[in-house]
Amino acid sequence: MELSETGGRAGKVKRCSVPGLPWDRFSAWLECVCVVTFDLELGQAIELVYPRDVRLTEKEKTSICYLSFPDSYSGCLGDTQFSFRIRQTAGHKLSLNGDEEKYNRDAPVVLQLDRAHYYGFVYFRQVKDCTVKRGYFQKVRIPSKKDKLGTSPLKQSNQENLLPAPMVIPTINELDLFGCFQSILIHIQMLWELMLLGEPVIVMATSPKISSDTVLALTSCIAPLRYCCDYRPYFTIHDTEFKEYTTRTQAPPNVILGVTNPFFIKTFQHWPHIIRLGDVRMSGDLPKQIKVKKLMKLRTLDTKPGIYTSYKTFLHKDKTLIKRLLKGIQRKRLPEVQSVIVRRHLLELTQSFIIPLERYVASLMPLQRTITAWKNPPQIRPFIKDEFMKTLEYAGPQLTSVQKGDWVGLYRRFFKSPNFDGWFRMRYQEMCKKLEILHLEVLCEADLLMWVREKSEVEIVDLVLKLREKLIKARVHQLPVREDLLEKLELYLETVINSLPDDLQVVLHQH
């Protein structure tokens, strides 16, 4: 990656270009690159957007400016990296193109594109400069359609040159879960349940990096299940949703907010779950574990780390896991290995929870032998919660997990969460698409010419229009149907059209 020089109030900066990589391909991952500076007259201001034809709304630009700077610059001398997430302006880039739809179809759920949000990855630099009263501030921010990128550090040869370091941008799957959860390891079961249920959570941290890393780590706790609630890795009082999320006239929304400003201690006292993180302190050879405290004990001036909640877990703690991780710390096991242990445990826990749901949903799908060419596909049976609960007796999580506790109660609570709605909506759409594919394959194999012999012209035209619509849909959405079958159906259609009177042929060919 190269940068070409351009000027600015806060000094010279470098504009991004990528040799050998067309921007239209690079933009599949990055929406644009912004340089935001602190101007003594204007405050935070966007100095450069690349490419120049990217259209960000004024609301989006304002959010970018404020969220690209730490709430407090104290303690941020040097380089800081963190991330944030903002809503795209209504009606602005809420749909995906064909390539993006194909990517979403092939990608794991947790790596799919988001239609409604931008993801900001910030590289913030604060270095002393005697020529500027407020110091020297500079930051490169990368808005993206995906939330699975990290920030790539930039190395500095001097204050006027920013040269990208040769690093691969990591994904959220490479987050250091162990590092994020060091001081709350003994509560990992509670955190997993809170994420699964989509509970409102505040993460109060000492820096934007700790805040954003922790929030992203929390949302990845329930992978491969998609976290379907809102989340803001870094949230400030200047956020456009500030009033929406801080109102006390209604229950807190299903969102995770990462904050650093002490102002929020009082503002969010009414929230049901607050994780207050401090610097990781050691108690002997082990990181000191923060305690769970009741919400009534949270005071405006209380600065002690802790998890403030009245939540009681449905499942018991996995003491074996905790002992293994703590022993790993004492034996100086590599942090990467510790993270793998944490991620594997959470993955197995989520899979044990979701497998019974997947098995039941699969049973709602019509049998393939009931799909015929000349009738609409049969309907998918409805999801009946009580019917599902009965299956837990013989096909529940106990088949794959040693975890003990109230699994039934956890499922009942899960049914009320946005994560269940999001998961079932996605699975229902997948089943509808599967039915469509099976029906199209049956049609491709059917003898259309035989069927139309005894049909009226109205019926034949109706069939032609419906089949043509199915073919177009199969092409546009790139449905996984064999190409030779689609070509066979197209030939059938052409033959059927040619068998109709000339005036109807003209009309059908025009459409």
Helix residue ranges per DSSP H, 363-415? 385-395, 407-414
Give the type of residue at 120: G
pLDDT interval class at 296 (50, 70, 90): low
pLDDT interval class at 50 (50, 70, 90): confident
Residue 467 pLDDT exceeds 90 = no
Class of domain 2-170: alpha beta
Q: How many residues does the chain have?
A: 511
pLDDT interval class at 511 (50, 70, 90): low
pLDDT interval class at 302 (50, 70, 90): low
3-state helix vs strand vs coil in the chain, percent to 5? 45, 20, 40
pLDDT score at 202: 95
pLDDT interval class at 107 (50, 70, 90): low
Regarding predicted confidence, which is higher, 206 or 446? 206
Regarding predicted confidence, which is higher, 271 or 493? 271
Q: Read off the tokens for 384.
A: 């009946």
Inter-CA distances, 105 with 307, 314, 430, Å: 38, 34, 10
For residue 256, give the nearest of 248, 268, 266, 238 by alpha carbon: 268
Tell the burial category of 510 from Cβ atoms under 10 Å away from its Cβ (0-12, 13-18, 19+). exposed
For residue 43, give the nearest of 86, 77, 9, 13 by alpha carbon: 9
Return d(Cα 401, Cα 347) in angstroms, integer. 11
Tell the burial category of 492 from Cβ atoms under 10 Å away from its Cβ (0-12, 13-18, 19+). buried
Q: Which of 235-239, 253-257, 280-284, 429-433 has the lowest mean pLDDT?
A: 280-284
Q: What angle do CA 494, 495, 500 make, to 5 degrees?
A: 95
Residue 482 pLDDT exceeds 60 = yes
Residues 263-285: tens digit of each pLDDT: 888 888 889 999 998 877 766 66
Highest mean pLDDT among 53-67, 275-289, 457-471: 53-67
The pTM (predicted TM-score) of the whole model is 0.82
Give the type of residue at 430: E
Per-residue pLDDT, averaged over 207-236, amounts to 93
Pairing of strands 2-6, 13-17: antiparallel
Give the type of residue at 408: V
Query: DSSP string of 106-163?
Result: HS-GGG---SSEEEEEEEEEEE--TTSTT-EEEEEEEEES-S---PPPEEEEETTEEE
Regarding predicted confidence, which is higher, 303 or 119? 119
Tell the burial category of 278 from Cβ atoms under 10 Å away from its Cβ (0-12, 13-18, 19+). middle
Give the type of residue at 194: L
Torsion angle (degrees, nearest 10) of CA 467, 473, 476, 482: -70
Q: Which of 170-179, 255-264, 335-344 has the lowest mean pLDDT?
A: 170-179
Inter-CA distances, 473 with 275, 464, 469, 489, Å: 47, 14, 6, 14
Compute the mean pLDDT over every residue in the chain, rounded to the nearest whole number: 79
Regarding predicted confidence, which is higher, 190 or 491? 190
Whether residue 224 has a cis bond before it, omega within 30° of 0: yes
Q: Nearest 5°: phi and psi at 79?
A: -110, 135
Residue 273 CA, chain-centre distance (Å), reads 21
Pairing of strands 286-287, 230-232: unpaired
Q: Which of 86-90, 256-260, 415-419 has the lowest mean pLDDT?
A: 86-90
Regarding predicted confidence, which is higher, 318 or 169? 318
Q: Are 96 and 28 in contact (CB under 8 A)?
A: no
Q: Give Cβ neighbours of residue 372 (< 8 Å, ≥ 6 apart).
A: 442
| CB-CB neighbours of 45 under 10 Å | 16
Residues 355-400: tens digit of each pLDDT: 999 999 999 999 988 888 778 888 999 999 999 999 999 999 999 9
* Span 175-438 CATH architecture: 3-Layer(aba) Sandwich (3.40)
Per-residue pLDDT, averaged over 216-239, amounts to 93
- Print burial letters for 205-215: b (CB count within 10 Å at least 16), e (below 16): bebbbbbbbbb
